[in-house]
Amino acid sequence: MKTISLTNARKNISSLIDEVRETGQMFAIGRHDALEVVMLKFPREYNKLFSDIANVNAYSQSFDFLGDEPELYSLSDLKKRYA
């Protein structure tokens, strides 16, 4: 994730929005060496039954990187009752 200053973000907001929309790149924006917000692509779909943060997590490809992670549990593990 790229980090930019608030001053830089103000000057380039239009191009930042275009880059986020087209590439999915996220930007952290801050001032005085402290990050304050993250700019990320709005979800492709939106379910009004869920909170905003649940929609962002579910539909904005925030967790797509997990597709490359190895499976830790087998199907039989998931069927076991431990309680």
Residues paired with 4 in a beta bridge:
29
SS3 (DSSP) at 29: strand
The predicted structure's pLDDT at residue 23? 86
Per-block average pLDDT, block size 10, for the chain (83 residues)? 92 94 89 89 82 78 75 80 70
For residue 61, what pLDDT is reported? 66
Domains of the chain: 1-40 (3.40.1620), 43-71 (no CATH)
Cβ–Cβ < 8 Å for 20, 12: no
Amino acid 63 reads F
pLDDT at residue number 63: 73
